[in-house]
Structures are given as C-alpha cells and as structure tokens.
Structure 1
Amino acid sequence: MRSFGDLPRPVLVLEGLGMVLLVLSYLSIHDFVRLPGILASQSVAVGMIFLGVALMVPAAAFLVWRVVQGFSPLLLAGKPTKNDRRSPPPSDKNNQGPQD
C-alpha cells in the first residue's frame, strides 16, 4: 500500500479517534491531564485503552486485506489456470522415439 491516504475515510476517522483515546488515556494515567469527574478514574483510563485499540482494528484489518489481495497473484503464479497460454505437455504417443 502506498500511503494511509488510500484508506477509506471512515476507517481513517476511526483510526484517528483510537489514537486520540490512547494518547488521552496515557496522559491521564501519568497525571499530565486531569479529566473531569468520573473520567479521572483508573478504570475509565483502562477502558479508553481497550476502546482505542478496538477503534484501530478496522484499519489494521483493511491493511492486511490489501496486502493479501496484492500477494494473491503471486501465490497463484505457479498453478496453471484455465486461461494459461502455455502448450500442454506432449503425450507419450508423440515421444516414443524413432521407429525401426
């Protein structure tokens, strides 16, 4: 894949939200940012970590799917197909050698 710009827009948005949640949870766990009310607890920070990772899964799955699609012609290159233009192997009748 050439760039992340090839990803669909909803997948990019989910990826961005996941990154924001991961950074926010890291900053709140290490007391760089104070979140209001109930969001300041450790359990909410752990939940944000899991949610952030879950939001990043579609982008990873999409990238893996693109890689598999790119490699599929390479994996099928050795197998003959219906549209293969190579000539069939000669039969035994043609390879008998000179007749006496």
Structure 2
Amino acid sequence: MSDLSIWVIIIVVGAGTYFMRYSFLGVLGRRQMPAWALRMLRYTAVAVLPALVAPAVLWPPATGGQTDPARLLAGGATLLAGLLTRNTLAAIVAGGVTLYAMLYVLG
C-alpha cells in the first residue's frame, strides 16, 4: 500500500468514528436523560472492565492461550482485594504484586 492510501484510510476511519460517536453524544448530550437510564449507565464500567480482563486472565496470550496458575491467582487476589477494600488502586496493586510474585515463584 502507498503512504497516501494508508493516510486516506486513517482519516476516513477517524472521521467515521467521530461522527458515529457524535451522532449519539451530540444528540443526547444536551438533553436530560431519564433517571432509570442514568442508574443503568453507572454500571457500564463495572460490566465492561471484567469483560475486557477475563480473557487475559483465563486465556493469556503470554502463555499461548493456556491457563496459567500465576494469572489465576493474581485475578483472585485482585477480586478479593477489591471486595474487601472497595478501592480500585488497592485491587490493582494486589493483583500486580501477586502476579509478579507468582511468576517469580512458579517460574
């Protein structure tokens, strides 16, 4: 592919993404949303984040998709720390420390 083709693709995809997002946010951004919709939107991050993280814990690319005890223990430590402390940073630190400790211990 030529440089011009690549830049045209980047610009077209960027513009398409912008207008798709604006079509939703620009139209609804100025209106008051119903209380039930706002209540449900509060749980968006809680629903999306585990969906993004779970495949990396259960089928990590670093091990060729094979389940790894170190990553399972780190995921469990993250979940436990998050439930006990209700602090996102504490959960991340607990998971990271557990992951590196288990990779060191288990090899």
Higher relative contact order (CA 8 A, sep 6+): 1
* TM-score > 0.5 by shorter chain: no
The structure with the larger Rg is 1
- Report which of the two has the higher share of helix: 2
TM range (shorter): under 0.3
Question: TM-score, normalised on structure 2?
Answer: 0.25
